[in-house]
Structure 1
Amino acid sequence: MCPQVGPAPGPPSSSSSSMESEDCLFLNVQSPANASNLPVLIYIHGGGYGAGNGRQDFSDLLNTNGNNFVVVSIQYRLGPYGFLASDELNRRGVVNAGLLDQVFALQWVQTYIRDFGGNPSAVTISGESAGGGSVMLMDMAYGGTLGDSLFQNSIAASPYLPKQYSYKDWVPSQAYYAFASAAGCPIGGYGNSTNTIFDCLMSKDTATLQAASIAVTATVTYGTWAFLPVTDGTLVQSAPSSQLIEKRVNGRSLLVGNNANEGAAFTPQDIRDETALLAWLQNTLLEFTPDDLAKVLLYYPISNTSTTKFATNGVSGPSALDTSSIATGQLQRAFNIYGELTFVCPSYWMAEAYAGDDRSSYKYQYSPLPGLHADDLVAYFGPLGSAPYLSTDFQRAMMKIWGNYVTKSDPSISNEFANGSSNSSASANAASSWPVFSNATPYQLNLNQTGGTLVPQTETTQAYLTGPTLKNDFSLANAYTWEAGRGARCDFWRSVAPLVPA
């Protein structure tokens, strides 16, 4: 797998795993026996553009769907190997190398997937977190001028949109210089030389570069990575907030969603009052003036003073603004701000980009407790029965949603799968007739569970429901009014996105 680095703060490390290598641009193909002209699902792994690999097992997903498509999982360069950026690097090499790896993998599928029984004209790209963010950037690639030449459909789960600077902006440039200095190529040594920092870096071995990557990552803001995609003017021509509203996208259709509690893992856990919240916001939104930060607080009011944690229903009563199953008050306020800015609102902007104009989009929220970032992966891919917080009925329903979307371009599933074996109801389930998303009818499916036995929160785990009485609970909701006006908050973030930048 490609050399890895985690977010800050992370465990200290000084060397690479023996499984990590710069020679890592491989992909895996999982193809049913006797496959012929089957639709293709390409999976792009997550991990903050700094970690992860393409070694997933898709057996349960394929078996649940009758082995009626082929799956390809890819790898791409990570951290500084894939996302180092500066003016010098752009002149001497390429920026967004990790994204170019992804484009090349999509081109490889077009050329060779018939040899594995796949149909290159029926391709769905997919990913979660940074993989979902990668899907977003592939949807936007080359200004949305690729049409459906590389893929037709997209699935983006919790699309990750960190701050996206231009390749020669101050922040990525400082990361470049800091990385070079940590690798033994300080900027002061190359100001008047025919040799460059780039030349020096090219002479370093993997161990040196990996140690520099870890050192620089340790200095960045809590919950973030040091090396991320940038606007380069070619592959990534614009910020998502601006290009998506212009509907300049590739492909024909989109399935996109987010989890109920996306932000907790990436937000400091000691925010207890508004003073601490403002300090965190000032450190996170560096270009925001005091007036800008005051607007953020206006869009994220706090009204519930109770300290009782519970999952909100999204429609009425207390909302995610200050209440969830994992936090209340100012801490929940921070969790929700980060989650909406970084994962949730990008899913709204993507859904809007594919609404109308002979395209279609479908939207959902994954809500089973605890609903943390990445909790949904086991629902899509299994193993079946491996997650105590999910019933196998829920997992199979999610697998069918993905499978039907890959094979039919429509995530609707039968009542049998939507209701599950534990629910004898003959009534139509919302998931059996999934409406397309539009600005006039911004519907999303809330994919949840009911029943079960509550396992309370501990110091190391969040509360969740478990047991044989868990039942699927899928309902249709207005995504714009969801959680006390989430759509309006996403419109706000788009209006100030140049300051984020996003």
Structure 2
Amino acid sequence: MVNNGFPSKACANCQKRKIKCDQSKPACHQCVKAHWSCPGYRSGVDLCFRDETKGVTRKYQAYRPKRPRMSASDASSGECSPNSNALSPDVSPSRLDMDVMTRAVSFFFSQYVHRPLASSERFQPGPFEYLPSLYARSQPDGPLVTIAHAAALASFANAGNVPSWMQQSHRLFGLGILKCRHALANPVDAKSDDVLASIMLLGIYETIALKGRETMRAWSQHILGAAALIDFRGPSQFRDRVSIQMFLQIRRLIVLSAYQLQKPVPFSLKKWSTWLECADVGGNCEVVHLSNRLSEIVEILASVRSLIRASQTRDIIAVSSMLLPIDSMLQSWQDQLPMSWGSRSDPARCLEDCSLHSHFEGMPFEVYPDLYIASLWNNYRGARILIHETLLSMATSASNTTTFDTKQLCATINLLRQMTAEICLSVDYHLRPGPNASPYNSSCYQNEIATDSIPGSELLLWPLFMAEEPLHATNRRQLLEIIDVDIYNSSGYSCYVKSQRRASNFSRFSFAENMLLSLLVAAILDFCWVTQSVKLPVVDLGYGLHQAIAYNDSLDFYNFSNIRYVRAPTGNLRFTAPQPPLANRTVQNGSSGGTCPQSYPVWYLCGLALLSGSINSTDACDASLIPKPDSTEREDCLFLDVIVPKQIFADASTKQATGAPVMVWVYGGGFTFSKKYEDGNPAGLIQRSREEDPSGKGVVYVTFNYRGGAFGFLSGPNVQSNGTANAGLLDQRMALEWVQHYIHLFGGDPKQVTVFGQSAGAGSIMHQITAYAGLKGPAPFRRAILQSPGFEPFPSHWEQDNLLHKYLGLLNVSTIQEARQLPFASLSAANVELVAGSPYGTFTFAPAVDGDFVPSLPGNLLAQGNYDTSVQIMTGFNAHETLYFTDPDSTNNSIFVSSISSTFPGIQPSVANYVAQDLYPPIFNGSYPYASFYERAELTLQESAFTCNTFFLQEAAKLAAGYGYRFSVPPAYHGQDVAYTYYNAATAGHGVNATIALLMQRFFTRFALSGDPNRKGDAVTIPVYQPSDKILDLNVTGLDVVADPNDNARCRWWQKSLYY
């Protein structure tokens, strides 16, 4: 091996006597003293290698099978005679016949690159299929040709057992290294295909000519050197098919080498891999995609093993949590393989002919469609062996074995046996010659050389040596015999395989450790009948890996919590549109997440306190009601949760499954507070969806955080010139787009997404339906359920800028950029203070018209048809939405007019007067739906902020069937229906009418499953809204179809937006 073992620089006499040599010239001191003729010193090139010729010869003779001796006639009838200098083992390397080199190159290409198919002049390609064309066009004295000759001669020397040829190959190899170094010093030459191929050939030479376990490590070092050169070559390396073929092979070998060396995959490989598309390869897209996916998984394994190695941890629980999710990913990869990739048994070629193989006796060889697929299968098996051998080795050093999961260790042992057996049964077939193999007639050593192995099949040897590693895979001696005997006949590999076989003390475990492991395994095997506990699966999102944090055994679903769907909106990303997440291939399980900053109006907290009875009068309504910031509040809060039934998730790995419907919840909270999990547990919804789904599988549930308050809804010209208005709405859009791109990985169908939400969440959905005025394609969902859709239209640009200046003033800065430099605590405190002083019935922040995502108010866009008309609509509102949103002091007309001005700051006095005198006149004789000043104020706020929105949506949904209901269960105030939406056994008896709750859940889940909330034969149904404008009234006193009370002149006036 190159520079391995620090070869002696002493003269030959001193080396034999094992004494110190002063290396004096022309004769060393020891030789002068002994009156010997000093033989001098080897050249620098010779010092790169140890001369293993004698050792190789001894090993070859020891393992060389007995073969029939050639008769004299046989010897003389060949193309060459016993006196031929061309093939004489005693020929001087300096006088090497060029005919030998020609034959060696031909032999090398046929065994390592490609070989002619018997039926035609075509070639069966190997992994180095690019090499012949490069070799043909390279300079004869260049590094590629020189190193190719070295590798060719080494393979020919191994096949014929000619030590002098091997010695000459060493010299050519050293010369090739010097030429490589010279080429790398030239920036132009360094980017050539010849140089990169030369480095690949250096690794090939290592595996052919040298010995010992470190050979594999040396090969890997050459491969990682090629990775550095890939980065230097840049995009020019994709200029033609040959370059692309070389890159693809190197990419696979780099990943393989990385996990062999327990090193992360070089970033250069990730960067330039993105330049390749399937069309570039010109091959089978399915093969390319599956190969890339395996490389990605193995890359993760390499990184994790590197981390484990660096941390030196021996905690098997911690290591298991890192490795077992990767093992699950590998199993998922295998499940996706097409049927055509499977192996077939060859009963005619089984191991029963070799009495040494007692463990595999009678088992047939496994034959794969081609070498590349066989290699992929064994790389997969090798990766799983690495995972489980690591776990098994840690079990031996654990001080308290009772903490181990014995079922998992039992499964580990059985899997190691399975993986190693499958490797042994696959590699052997592709390496050893078939029964009709024809000899290589160009050599006098024809009886020693067979040429029926598949080109490049030496790549399959790595998994085989890996299969030798596991202590309990099978009897180790039997494995060694498989390596030494069965693969012996493969041309060019006999000496190579013998030299690779490790000494008997290769075990990484001490005798005591082996004894402990044997006892432990014996105990574990007694429990192999126990059903293995459910593994928490890992989903590969491309940019990251996420593991389920929990499995609900009673309800049979996984919880994938706190999945990052955008980049953290911190620093310079504050007050801007969300950005795609950065790549992080470390497995995340959602144990750490966060909630977005919360802020509450004092009037809102006062209303809740009065309803709950914690205070008795409004005199106690002050800033003391504001809760202290929660420890989970942070800017880095944009995460989502996916709750998926186990059967749906399992179907995600099958091609036949079409995917399950998806329900995405958007929480409310006045655009200033709340969080994704606050509204309730979706267990009841999921259970109802299973009951209503003919397949019994149900739906996938998703919910997410989005920015609120100043963090998500600052707006106005100054914001838009230095950031983005409506950032919170854009967060929502990114979450919905995430569902479109990734929900299929969990078993969901992106074409069957239903968004549902309440209050500000439903108001957000309304903005999502009308986003970009419908000019940027369909919405990222098919159906929408809007419960009390609410928002207060934000005032003019002047008011928007004024709010910005108030916020900046609280921060004691003058620009948004300065605010970006402040600590989060300062920004949050200012946000809390600003929202706390909101006028009664308002929240200070809300979506604003920005000319882009919100080109106009949603009511206007719906009336004009500027929205996604394909979305199916279902709406609901509560009978007394603004029961505690209304100022209790609304007791006269002047207060009413004042409240209109505070709610709509940009309203003109004449318009405010029209609202007070004509739209909602102070007439309490029963001709209007209010009987007092308070009820008048309540209805005004209810219609303008909530219920009229449902009318706008239903009127716009004339082209598609819309459905509506009114929630009238007393007291029917805003938000009361959320407990019904999330009803489950845990909430039974908490003021929720179970009959109505179950009915609502059935309506919702049926709508999500099919677009129709009704079932044929049901006693209670929701009527189609058009053309009669009818809705279903839900009340404890009855379930009745009624006219929509929002179909009135007041709502039609509000839709004109004359107040804005």
- Match of residue 54, structure 1, among 656, 676, 679: 676
Give 2:1023's aligned amino acid: P
Structure 1 residues 68, 148: closer, same or farther in 2, change over 3 A?
farther
Confirm whether residue 353 of structure 1 aligns to residue 956 of structure 2: yes
8 Å CA contact 2:719, 2:816 repeated in 1: yes
Give 1:233's aligned amino acid: G
Confirm whether residue 329 of structure 1 aligns to residue 329 of structure 2: no
Q: Deviations over 1:75-134 (max 9, x none)?
A: 111111111123222122211111111111111111111111100110011110000001
The secondary structure found in structure 2 opposite 1:406 is: helix
Confirm whether residue 494 of structure 1 aligns to residue 1041 of structure 2: no
Equivalent residue for 1:233? 851
Equivalent residue for 1:191? none
CA distance in 2, matches of 1:366, 1:201: 44
Structure 1 residues 295, 78: closer, same or farther in 2, change over 3 A?
closer
CA distance in 2, matches of 1:302, 1:88: 41
Structure 1 residues 14, 446: closer, same or farther in 2, change over 3 A?
closer
Give 1:80's aligned amino acid: A
The secondary structure found in structure 2 opposite 1:61 is: helix
Equivalent residue for 1:222? 840
- Match of residue 3, structure 1, among 584, 594, 597: 597
Relative to the length of structure 2, the TM-score reads: 0.39
CA distance in 2, matches of 1:163, 1:291: 16
- Match of residue 204, structure 1, among 805, 822, 828: 822
8 Å CA contact 1:43, 1:72 repeated in 2: yes
CA drift at 1:280 = 2.4
CA drift at 1:489 = 1.4
- Match of residue 172, structure 1, among 800, 808, 812: 800
Structure 1 residues 142, 295: closer, same or farther in 2, change over 3 A?
closer
Structure 1 residues 133, 291: closer, same or farther in 2, change over 3 A?
closer
Structure 1 residues 413, 333: closer, same or farther in 2, change over 3 A?
farther
Q: How does 1:349-388 map to 2 (within 5 A)?
A: 349-356=952-959, 359-384=960-985, 385-386=987-988, 388=990
CA drift at 1:320 = 7.6
CA distance in 2, matches of 1:204, 1:490: 44
Structure 1 residues 413, 374: closer, same or farther in 2, change over 3 A?
farther
Give 1:24's aligned amino acid: C
Confirm whether residue 16 of structure 1 aligns to residue 629 of structure 2: yes
8 Å CA contact 1:39, 1:122 repeated in 2: yes
Equivalent residue for 1:461? none
Give 1:498's aligned amino acid: L
Confirm whether residue 96 of structure 1 aligns to residue 714 of structure 2: no
CA distance in 1, matches of 2:661, 2:754: 8
Q: How does 1:360-439 map to 2 (within 5 A)?
A: 360-384=961-985, 385-386=987-988, 388-413=990-1015, 428-429=1019-1020, 431=1021, 434-438=1022-1026
Structure 1 residues 414, 380: closer, same or farther in 2, change over 3 A?
farther
The secondary structure found in structure 1 opposite 2:701 is: strand
CA drift at 1:492 = 1.8
Structure 1 residues 223, 149: closer, same or farther in 2, change over 3 A?
closer
The secondary structure found in structure 2 opposite 1:398 is: helix
Relative to the length of structure 1, the TM-score reads: 0.80
Equivalent residue for 1:116? 746
CA drift at 1:5 = 0.5
The secondary structure found in structure 2 opposite 1:476 is: strand
Give 2:963's aligned amino acid: Y
The secondary structure found in structure 1 opposite 2:755 is: strand
Structure 1 residues 114, 295: closer, same or farther in 2, change over 3 A?
closer
CA distance in 2, matches of 1:135, 1:291: 29
CA drift at 1:486 = 4.8
Q: Kindly name which structure, 1 or 2, has the bigger radius of gyration based on alpha carbons.
A: 2
Of 209-218 and 157-166, deviating more is 157-166
Q: How does 1:48-197 map to 2 (within 5 A)?
A: 48-55=670-677, 56-66=680-690, 68-148=698-778, 150-165=780-795, 169-185=797-813, 187=814, 197=815
Give 1:254's aligned amino acid: I
Structure 1 residues 256, 126: closer, same or farther in 2, change over 3 A?
same
For structure 1, which runs of at least 5 residues remain unmatched after alignment? 188-196, 306-317, 323-327, 417-427, 451-472
Structure 1 residues 241, 177: closer, same or farther in 2, change over 3 A?
same
Structure 1 residues 435, 247: closer, same or farther in 2, change over 3 A?
farther
Q: How many residues align?
A: 427
Confirm whether residue 343 of structure 1 aligns to residue 946 of structure 2: yes
For structure 2, which runs of at least 5 residues remain unmatched after alignment? 1-594, 606-622, 652-658, 691-696
CA drift at 1:413 = 4.5
CA distance in 2, matches of 1:86, 1:285: 16
Higher relative contact order (CA 8 A, sep 6+): 1
CA drift at 1:405 = 0.6
8 Å CA contact 2:900, 2:912 repeated in 1: no
CA distance in 2, matches of 1:389, 1:297: 40
Query: Over the residues paired in the alignment, what is the CA RMSD in angstroms?
Result: 2.2
CA drift at 1:386 = 3.9
Confirm whether residue 289 of structure 1 aligns to residue 849 of structure 2: no
Structure 1 residues 264, 256: closer, same or farther in 2, change over 3 A?
same
The secondary structure found in structure 1 opposite 2:645 is: coil
CA drift at 1:263 = 1.4
Give 1:401's aligned amino acid: F
Q: Deviations over 1:212-246 (max 9, x none)?
A: 11222233312312222111111111111210101
Equivalent residue for 2:282? none
Equivalent residue for 2:213? none
CA drift at 1:383 = 3.5
Q: Deviations over 1:315-336 (max 9, x none)?
A: xxx68821xxxxx511111111
- Match of residue 881, structure 2, among 242, 251, 262: 262
CA distance in 2, matches of 1:445, 1:259: 12
Equivalent residue for 1:477? 1042
CA drift at 1:476 = 1.4
Q: How does 1:295-334 map to 2 (within 5 A)?
A: 295-301=915-921, 304=924, 321-322=929-930, 329-334=932-937
Q: Deviations over 1:419-441 (max 9, x none)?
A: xxxxxxxxx43x1xx33223x42
Structure 1 residues 244, 70: closer, same or farther in 2, change over 3 A?
same
The secondary structure found in structure 1 opposite 2:769 is: helix
CA drift at 1:297 = 3.5
Structure 1 residues 138, 319: closer, same or farther in 2, change over 3 A?
farther
> Identity rate of aligned residues, in percent?
28
CA distance in 2, matches of 1:291, 1:162: 17
CA drift at 1:288 = 3.5
The secondary structure found in structure 1 opposite 2:1058 is: helix
Q: Deviations over 1:170-199 (max 9, x none)?
A: 1111111110110121x4xxxxxxxxx012
8 Å CA contact 1:124, 1:155 repeated in 2: yes
In proportion to residue count, which structure has more strand?
1
8 Å CA contact 2:967, 2:1034 repeated in 1: yes
CA distance in 2, matches of 1:478, 1:362: 13
Equivalent residue for 1:456? none
CA drift at 1:264 = 2.0
CA distance in 2, matches of 1:33, 1:14: 38
Of 29-38 and 128-137, deviating more is 29-38
8 Å CA contact 1:252, 1:360 repeated in 2: no
Of 89-98 and 217-226, deviating more is 217-226
